[in-house]
Structures are given as structure tokens and as C-alpha cells.
Amino acid sequence: MKDLERLRTLIKEPVELVLNQQIQMELVSSSKYLAMAGWCDRNGYDHSAGFFYKQSEEEREHAMKLFHYLCDQGAIAYTPEIPAVPQEFDGLRSVFETVLEQEITVTDSINRIIGVCRREGDYATEELMKWYVKEQVEEEYIARRCLELIDQIPADQIYYLDKKLASVTYDENPFDEA
Amino acid sequence: MEGSVPASYQEVFRTDKGVVYQCDKTNRLILSFWGSHTPLSARDFAQFRRMVETVNIHQMALSTDAADDVEILTLPRSERCYVLTLCEVIHLRELLSGANLMLELNSMLRECGCATLSGNV
Ligand SMILES: [Fe+2]
């Protein structure tokens, strides 16, 4: 008897399920960052606002990468429901604390997906997820570095702090190919 | 009720309420339930199985609202729909999940390089 499911797609159902959950998580991240961008924008943190607008776009791209992968490989990608996200924050520090927590949640989720890929013997999807692993190392670094800067820069130098936060990059990422 | 089925149909799973066949000629799974044969692609079959799995049977059982007495399920890309009572949803679930188990077994056999299942050929 033919294996019709295998002819349809290389992605097995448990992997399809967790990838769809990841699409949802990335789009929730995108929505959270957009809310942070809005909060920064209306509170005068222009540079941080710019940083979060860009970040929001990036998270959407992360979701779309998975969405296209599922569709291209014959699996089903679902458009997820996005719940309401927080719109107000106590200050810049609380914004960046939320960022770090969100990125840690994403990293944990990526790691779980790789576990599922290994269990199902899906080495193609595991290979794709490696890109996300590296991405998360960078995202967590940036969030931690921003929190450090908030501690290091005196509270009255808000303009300087805002500018500094938006310029944090991870240049020494050991996973980047030189 | 079923009468005779085409020779290319291999039985995947059977309950006393229905049968799932596979046709290797057309690459279709055939759902035989409620006296009708419905050929479905592997994707539509998976999608329909998930639709049946996600029916809220607790609500059907507990609600006194007439709208909860039956569940209307439309087959993917087909005009056909099933209007099912609680019992029928459960029967359909049993049939589809049994069939899915056999299909998974067939996949596992293929993956490890063993001969795949052969139905009533
Ligand atoms: Fe992301």
C-alpha cells in the first residue's frame, strides 16, 4: 500500500503542529513589539521606537519563513489567532524586561521543536530550526545588553540612553559566519 | 449497504459503522460512512479527521440548545456534508482514528525499509 501521507508532505503531523504553534508565537512577538514601538513613540523614546518597529517586522518574517516552509512542503499552515497584548508599560526598564522574558519563551519553544524533530527523525526541519537557534542567541544577548545599559546610564540622561539602546547589536556572534 | 467496491480499493480500517479504503490508482482515501463513498486526498482526509477530533462533544452532550443536538461537518473541497448526532461523531472518530493508526503503521514500515501493508488485494 502506498504511503499517501508521505507522498503529500515530508513533514509529519507532530512537527506540523509545533511549527504552526511557533508561527503563532512569532506573530504574538511581532504584535508585542509593535505595542512597545507605539509606547516608546508616544513617550518620546524615538530611537527605541524605531528599534521596536524594526523588531516587529523581523518577528513577522520569522513567522512567514515557517508559513512558507509548511506550504511549500505540502503541509498545512494555519493563520493563527493573535490575542490582545499589553499596550502600557511602567517605563523603559519594564519594556526591556518584557522583551527578555518573551525571547526566553521563544528560545525554549525552538528547543522543544528540535526535540520533536529528533523524535520524528525530521532532519530537514531540524536544519531549518538551527537558523532560529542562532537568531535566539542574538535576541537574548541584545535584550540583556539593553537591560545592562539601563542600569549603567544615569537616569537623567534619557536622550543618550534611548539612542544607546537602539544601537545595540551583537557583532561578535560566534555563530555568524565571518 | 456497501455493495461491492472497486478492485483497486484496499481496506485500511473497518468498524461496524463504516470503512476506510485506500485506492493506490487514484491516490485517494475513501471514506465509506452513512452509505456513501467519499474519495479524499491525503490532505483532505487529515483535515477532516482533525475537524472530527475537535468537535466539542461535551457541549453536544450537556447543552439543551437544539443547535447543539447535531454537528454539521463539511468535507473539504466537496459539496457533501455530514449532519451528525453525538453518537455518530463518536463512531466517525473511532473509524478515522483507527484508519489513521493503520496509515501510520504503514508509514513506519516504509521508513524502516520493510514491506508496506497490503490490504485485501
Ligand atoms: Fe523570532
Is residue B69 a part of any domain in this protein? yes
| Residue at grid coordinates 544601537 | A167
Domain extent at residue A74: 9-79+88-166
Q: Is residue B52 scored above 90 in pLDDT?
A: yes
ipTM for this model: 0.79
Render each residue's pLDDT in chain A as its tens digit; 178 residues.
Answer: 999 988 988 999 999 999 999 999 999 999 999 999 999 999 999 999 999 999 999 999 999 999 999 999 999 999 999 999 999 999 999 999 999 999 999 999 999 999 999 999 999 999 999 999 999 999 999 999 999 999 999 888 889 899 999 999 888 888 877 5
A108 domain-assigned: yes
Q: Average pLDDT in the B33-58 region?
A: 90
Residue at A4 is within a domain: no
CB nearest to A8's CB, from B12, B42, B106? B42
Per-residue pLDDT at B2 exceeds 90: no
pLDDT digits (tens, 9 = 90+) for A83-133: 999 999 999 999 999 999 999 999 999 999 999 999 999 999 999 999 999
Would B117 be classed as within a structural domain? Answer: no
Q: What is the CATH number of the domain that holds B95?
A: 2.30.31
Residue B120 above 80 pLDDT?
no
Distance A102 CA to ligand 1 centre (A): 10
In angstroms, the CA B60 to CA B49 distance is 18
Distance CA A50, CA A36 (A): 10
Do residue B107 and residue A7 have CB atoms under 8 angstroms apart? no
Of the candidates A5, A76, A121, the beta carbon closest to that of B103 is on A5
Helix, strand, coil % in chain B, rounded to nearest 5: 40, 25, 35
- The reply to whether A175 falls in a domain is no
DSSP symbol at B70? E
Residue with cell 534619557: A158
Q: Is B33 helix (H, G, I), strand (E, B) or coil?
A: strand
Residue B81, beta-bridge partner list: B74
Considering only CA atoms, which of A172, A173, A132, A168 is closest in space to residue A147?
A: A168
Give the number of domains in chain B.
1
List residues bridging with B29 in a β-sheet.
B22, B40
Residue B21 CA to residue B105 CA, distance in Å, equals 15
A45 in a domain, yes or no?
Answer: yes
Instruction: Give domain status of residue A60, yes or no.
Output: yes
Q: Compute, in angstroms, the gap from residue A149 CA to the centroid of ligand 1.
A: 23
Question: For position A162, which CATH number holds?
Answer: 1.20.1260.10
A177 in a structural domain: no
Residues of A in contact with B44 (CB under 8 A): none
Identify whether A173 is part of a domain: no
Q: Is residue B119 part of a domain?
A: no
Does the distance separating the beta carbons of B117 and A2 come in below 8 Å? no
Please judge whether B43 and A2 are an interchain contact, meaning their C-beta atoms are less than 8 angstroms apart.
Answer: no
pLDDT tens figures, B68-89:
888 999 888 888 888 989 999 9
Domain assignment present for residue B121? The answer is: no
Instruction: Judge whether B42 and A8 are in contact, CB under 8 Å.
Output: yes
Answer whether A6 touches B (CB < 8 Å). yes
Q: How many domains does chain A have?
A: 1
Main-chain dihedrals φ then ψ at residue B18, nearest 5 degrees: -175, 180
Nearest to A11 by CA among A133, A127, A131, A109: A127
Coil, strand or helix at A175: coil
CA A120 vs CA A65, A69, A106, A126: distances in Å: 21, 17, 21, 10
pLDDT of residue B121: 40
Which residues form the domain of B8? 2-111
Unique residue bearing C-alpha cell 542600569: A151
The reply to whether residue A3 touches residue B10, judged by beta carbons under 8 angstroms, is: no
- Is A174 part of a structural domain of the chain? no
